[in-house]
Structure 1
Amino acid sequence: MSTPVKTDEKSRVVIATHNQHKFTELKSTLSELPFEFLPLTNWSQAAVSETGKTFVENAVIKARYASQRAEVPAIADDSGLIVHLLNGKPGVHSSRYAGEYATDEENNNLLLERVKAKRKINEPVKASFVAILVYIEHADDARPIIAEGSWQGSIIESPRGASGFGYDPLFLPLDSDLTVAELGPSVKNRDSHRAKAARNLVHLLSDRLKDRS
């Protein structure tokens, strides 16, 4: 049984990711919280198996693993792209759509290939990014805080832009003429699914900390 870790203004919190881009993005969007954020790579280079069938299940799995390894509270995210034309895929398999160790380019190429095979001429390919953020105080925490965010848009026919990562070069947000990779980090950190989930988490976690003060 893990020991609950007290969270005060100098508490360290591990962010359960090995992806430096994601760590930087989450650290920025969660900056209102009174924590020192550290990457999981400080304690472990190994990734936990994401065996969940939903974004929530996978985020909880990652948070528990990170908290167990670091012995501090943890925040984990699970996020992905949902393409309606593909019946919700790639979904929870977004980061490994083209294989366990697939690159972003390989995932993007497979997505475009499968969209092209199903898409009707001039049919918009509606899609959404979904993010779940989970905060736990210790590995056995029975009351995780769960926050969600989504970003609506569509998939374009070929990659555009050099910023961001993942499917950013293919995702055109609603009411935008630029892909996420063209919009840049400042807009992404304000409008993205992960940014919305982070704001929700900040609100929920701030309320919990306030209740204890």
Structure 2
Amino acid sequence: MHTKEHVGLFDSVPKTPNVDHLSVVLASSSPYRKELLERLRIPFTTAAPNIDETPLEDETHIHLVQRLAENKARALANKFPKHLIIGSDQIAVCTGEIFGKPKDVEAAVAQLKHFSRRTVTFYTGLSVLNSESGEIHTITEPYSVYFRTLTEKMIRHYIELEQPLNCAGSFKSEGLGITLFLKMKGDDPNSLIGLPLIRLTDLLSRHGFELPEQAR
């Protein structure tokens, strides 16, 4: 079974029974995603997927993050054949342009300059694959950030302090990046860090996987 959803859509899908024997794998080397997943208090393994993250020609931002999230999960299926594999990818969209992780400090400066006084929507693709059955569910979670007026001095000072070069949008919302915002809008602030836990809980439930709190 393969289901894919767009922003704000979540239909009811029957749970897949008997997945208690499946372990959880996070297809990411991100310490931020690892820390978020630890909040659910479930045992899991992390492994870095090796995929090409180049956007396809004329690919929409929603299709891009969903495709990459799925590809990350599928990339580990052979190594983890009896697992629930979580894949996630994130991009920032501002004025119709897609922004990923900056390559260096100057790219980060350019990104944040562009975001000044603008709204940036972060799209997180999230996919959970049952590598034993091949069943996969994929969604996209949006979250919008409204930026303050940012001077180059403010931007360079922030980048020097936090070095957010491995973050889409060139900031860390769990750190000083919060000082760059006027306000935020969305269902799950964890989306900004790269792993929307509310939607992840739903996807795990679709596979029949119960969290410790749900099993009581």
TM-score normalised by L of structure 2: 0.61
SS of the residue corresponding to residue 28 of structure 2 reads coil
Structure 1, unmatched stretches of 5+, are 173-177, 184-189
Q: Tell me how far apart the structure 1 counterparts of residues 139 and 168 of structure 2 sit (CA, whole Å).
A: 24
Structure 1 letter corresponding to 2:30: N
Q: How big is each residue's C-alpha offset from its partner over 1:146-204, in whole Å with a ceiling of 9 and x where there is no partner? A: 352423322634153639762576588xxxxx733789xxxxxx623257732022024
Report the number of matched residues: 172
SS of the residue corresponding to residue 201 of structure 1 reads helix
TM-score normalised by L of structure 1: 0.61
Structure 2, unmatched stretches of 5+, are 1-15, 182-187
Would you tell me which structure has more helix in proportion to its own residues? 1
SS of the residue corresponding to residue 68 of structure 1 reads coil
Counterpart selection for 1:138 from 131, 134, 137: 131
> Which structure 2 residues correspond to residues 17-166 of structure 1 after superposition, within 5 A?
17-25=28-36, 27-29=37-39, 31=40, 35-41=42-48, 47-51=50-54, 53=59, 54-71=64-81, 72-84=83-95, 87-90=96-99, 94-95=100-101, 97=102, 102-103=103-104, 105-112=105-112, 115=114, 124-138=117-131, 141-154=134-147, 156-157=150-151, 158=155, 160=158, 162=162, 166=167
- Bigger RCO (CA 8 Å, 6+ sep): 2
Q: Tell me if the contact between 1:59 and 1:134 (Cα under 8 Å) persists in the aligned partners.
A: yes
Would you tell me which structure has more strand in proportion to its own residues? 2
Q: Tell me how far apart the structure 2 counterparts of residues 66 and 166 of structure 1 sit (CA, whole Å).
A: 23
What is aligned with 1:186? Answer: none
